Chain A
Amino acid sequence: MAESLPLADRSVREVAVSLRRRELSSRELTRACLDRIARDAGRLNTFLAVGEEAAMATAGDADRALAEGDDRPLLGIPYALKDIFVTRALDEAGAPTGGLPTTAGSRILEGYRSPYASAAEERLGDAGAVLLGKTNCDEFAMGSSNENSAFGPVRNPWDEATVPGGSSGGSSAAVAAGQAFFALGTDTGGSIRQPAALCGIVGLKPTYGRVSRYGMVAFASSLDQCGPLTRSVEDAATVLGALAGHDPRDSTSVAERVPDYRAALTGDLHGVRLGVPREYFVAGMEPGVEASVRAAIDQLASLGARIVDVSLPSTDRGLATYYIIAPAEASANLARYDGVRYGFSAGASDLLDNYRETRGRGFGAEVKRRIMLGTYALSAGYYDAYYVKAQQVRTLIKREFDAVLADCDALVAPTSPSVAFPIGAKVDDPLLMYLNDACTLPVNIAGLPGISVPCGLSDGLPVGLQVIGKAFDEPMVLRVADAYERSAGYADLRPPTSV
């Protein structure tokens, strides 16, 4: 039962009710999270920076606002930001304010203090939420296991010998372990949904353009999107409501109306057509994952949804398409780390040597691999064969999604082909690691919204069900996931090690 869960493990909705009834204060919630963070710091390695003093001060402000009847849904709720969002740490004169550093999980941003705030920090601050700190992640969000962080791997609270997934591994593990009531992640090829699945929580990647990317350290700009990691679908709807909307500072942000996402959670699926893309049940998928996902689809049918078999024939081209487009964009985006304007500098006496040494020493292995891959794909003689070709196949993948979504309200599929795997198991084989995202990255290629919701355990580790929707149809994605969550009984799923 939800009420019996320890304070730090409850959903945003539950504690928001308690805050309004004065049964709890934001200071108590914040303290409970800070205690968990301190208790598990050495075990899970989820946070790269914690702002205890600022968090307690913000919580105090929230308690005063609550006492005056302020009813904003996230008021006083403690949360964490993936350390890919910049947080303002300098005043107008350029002096440190004591604000949190930003590393993107990389040594190359050593010592960096952001002169401005990300849209995410601003919007959640305006919503009255309490920022606890910045979470560990794969370097520049490149990875599926959180093993590519320059600050050590994050451990999965379900089994500390396994990875939490990535790249938003710190955010996911923190939410699963009761260290934050929600967290933000970023998703370029599955980096919100896959770690959510592996940590047994909810992770939502909104439509490309739905949430501002301003102040999000760029990885692949045509694929990156920011979204919430939460303990329930309703909480994801609440956080998305605070994040979504046009931002003139991100020219790819869309001026589409922001609907009331929580109002979409009707619990009813009668008349809803759900497509099951057969190519998503790939060879190599773990039988326990397939069984859980198939059972979840049966459950959706029992709730009144019409289940239809559909085909997305280019699915197996997704991985190749992604691993050309994403590294190509990354190689261009990461050109900015030059050792001149900010971050680590090798201090060589010649400018060209300084570029090479700064980047050679500042970037980790996976980031270098992707810069090399992207630079190769964009270089003279290979541009058409790789980059343009991948953009053409991107068109095909998008058209196939458009065609099946013209006939279905949403698609349901596995989030990840496997449960959490042992730390170290895939680090020596990049291609094997990339396969973790086979079911999530086509969604980024097409720019669609997708959510992962827990659908059971396999070998004692969480499995995620993915729901994919039409562009800007987050209400349908949330509605399907919420209806499933309510009937499936996994909403109170918490890792055995968290308490």
Chain B
Amino acid sequence: MISRQDVEHVAALARLGLSADEIDLMQGQLSRILEAVAQLRDVDTSQIGPTAQVIGLENVMREDEARAGLGRELALANAPLREGPLLRVPVILEEGR
């Protein structure tokens, strides 16, 4: 069983705002799921390497040539808040702080 503090810690890492009810629910559900997936502990993998992808492609390269990207207006068109050619975000550093 994972603790409520564990759930809060993971939610903080994931930048996920959860209500008190959601934390309760998540604590029970995550505990059960983690218990179920913990069966992998019984598999002997001491001689087995990990597989991150299955197609065997590595280091896909292309010529180092400049190409047109998404134009600025297109890139900014969906921004919830913008200021001219910039994305706008809430203040994270205030003068004098």
Contacts and interface: CB of A to CB of B under 8 A. Distances in A.
B10 A379 contact: yes
Interface of B: 2, 6-7, 10-11, 13-19, 22, 26, 29-30, 32-34, 36-41, 43, 45, 48-55, 57, 60, 62, 70-71, 73-81, 87, 89-92
Contacts of A357: 17
Interface stretch (A19-27, A184-192, A248-256): A248-256
Given A94-B73, A373-B34, A396-B43, 16 more contacts: A90-B74, A94-B74, A254-B55, A341-B87, A344-B80, A345-B81, A349-B91, A350-B91, A352-B15, A354-B90, A357-B17, A360-B17, A361-B17, A373-B30, A389-B41, A394-B50
Contacts of B2: 376
B90 A348 contact: yes
Contact of A431 (B22, B36, B39): B36
Contacts, number: 185
A248 B87 contact: no
Contacts of B51: 391-392, 394-395, 398
Provide the main secondary structure of the chain B interface. Answer: loop
B16 A356 contact: yes
B10 A208 contact: no
16 contacts: A93-B73, A115-B77, A208-B53, A208-B55, A248-B62, A320-B36, A335-B15, A339-B80, A340-B89, A349-B91, A355-B15, A373-B33, A376-B6, A386-B40, A392-B48, A395-B48
A359 B15 contact: yes
A469 to B, nearest CB: 14
Nearest to A390: B40
A209 B57 CA distance: 10
Interface residues of A, number: 75
B63 to A, nearest CB: 11
A224 to B, nearest CB: 12
A430 B15 contact: no
A248 B50 CA distance: 26
Interface string A347-369: 11111111111011101010011
A372 interface: yes
B40 A222 contact: no
A226 to B, nearest CB: 15
Contacts of A431: 32-33, 36
B48 A371 contact: no
A355 B18 CA distance: 12
A348 B53 CA distance: 39
A369 B17 CA distance: 12
A389 B40 contact: yes
B40 A94 contact: no
A350 B90 CA distance: 5
A115 B73 CA distance: 9
Contacts of A350: 90-92
A344 B78 CA distance: 10
A483 interface: no
A252 B37 contact: no
Contacts of B73: 92-94
Contacts of B41: 385, 389
| Most B C-beta atoms less than 10 A away, residue of A314, A355, A471 | A355
A340 B76 CA distance: 10
A164 interface: no
Interface string A122-149: 0000000000000000000000000000
Contacts of B55: 208-209, 252, 254, 447, 471
A351 B30 CA distance: 28
Contact of A113 (B36, B43, B62, B77): B77
The 7 closest A-B pairs by CB, nearest first: A360-B17, A447-B54, A391-B50, A342-B78, A94-B77, A356-B17, A345-B80
A301 interface: no
A115 B14 contact: no
B48 A90 contact: no
A54 interface: no
Contacts of B39: 317, 320
A369 B26 contact: yes
A448 to B, nearest CB: 8
A395 B16 contact: no
Nearest to A207: B55
Contacts of A95: 77
